[in-house]
Each structure stands twice: as C-alpha cells, then as structure tokens.
Amino acid sequence: MKHRIRIAREQYKFSCAHMTVFADGTKERLHGHNYTIAIALEVDTVALSAMVPFAPLKQALAELCAAWKEHVLIAAHNPHLAIVRDDAELELTLCGERYVLPRGDVLLLPIDNISVEALAMHVAEILRGKLAPIAGPHVKALEVTVEESPGQGASCELALR
C-alpha cells in the first residue's frame, strides 16, 4: 500500500526574475513569476512508528523561499552564459545579450537552466539532504512541484529507497 503526504502551503512562495534558455541558444526576455513550492512524500505505511516530522522540511522550504525571494535567478551551468564578477556587480552575457546587475540581486544556481523543471529538480536535491536524517525506511520517494503560476509548473520525483 502507498500513501502520499503533502506539504503545500501559501507561505512557500517566492517572487523572482529569470530567463529560460532554449537548446538553440535563444532565450525568453527577463521576466518574473510568483513561484510556489509543494512537496509530497511517498510512504508505505502511516503507522505511528513510521511518522516523519514535518518541521525540518517546512523550515527548509521557508528558508529556501526567503533566500530566493526578489532575486534574479541565473543558471550558473548554462553553456550560453559568460560571467564577469567584481565586488559590486555581475556582468552576464547570455545568448548574446549583456546584463549588468548588482551582485546582491543575483543568485547563481548550480543548474543549467532556470525553468520550472530545473527548479523542481534542484529543490528536490536540496530537500533530499534535509530529509535524509529524519526519514526512516518507510519514506520511499520525495516529489517536489514548482509552479510559476497557478496550474502551470513541473514536478520532480526522487526515489529515496
């Protein structure tokens, strides 16, 4: 028997700017979204002995949303990106376009694109590390859903066992 435990609350959201890049080297314009994050755990029992504490996961979600809020998210591993850094600003060249932004306004994420698919995968990897110390053998999978608007998003499921 499988069970799914969900955490999807209004407070797990962040507003930020990004540009999705496509394989042919084109990109979207710089724009923003009001993202939300929800998670689900697949467990094989709901017995008392297998209960998973939600507090560490909720804290990790809240911290991530606070850290990403009101930033420009840039995919540091994008092959179409060149970065010049100094103490005050980042000069980004992405798909032939040049952007100069205050360093404190930019978050460089260790992924190759800023899309809901890539963000869901990245958040899942972050949360897997937070889940490891609290998840017993009954937690089989972690699913992370990132939506850029209501009803439009992507999910990533990681097998844990």
Share of the chain above pLDDT 90, in %: 77
Span 58-70, pLDDT tens digits: 999 999 999 999 9
Number of domains in the chain: 1
Amino acid letter, 4: R
pLDDT of residue 135: 81
* Average pLDDT in the chain: 93
Share of the chain above pLDDT 70, in %: 100
CATH of the domain at 143: 3.30.479.10
Span 26-59, pLDDT tens digits: 999 999 999 999 999 999 888 887 788 889 999 9
- CA-based torsion, 93, 94, 98, 101: positive or negative: negative
Domain range for 7: 3-159
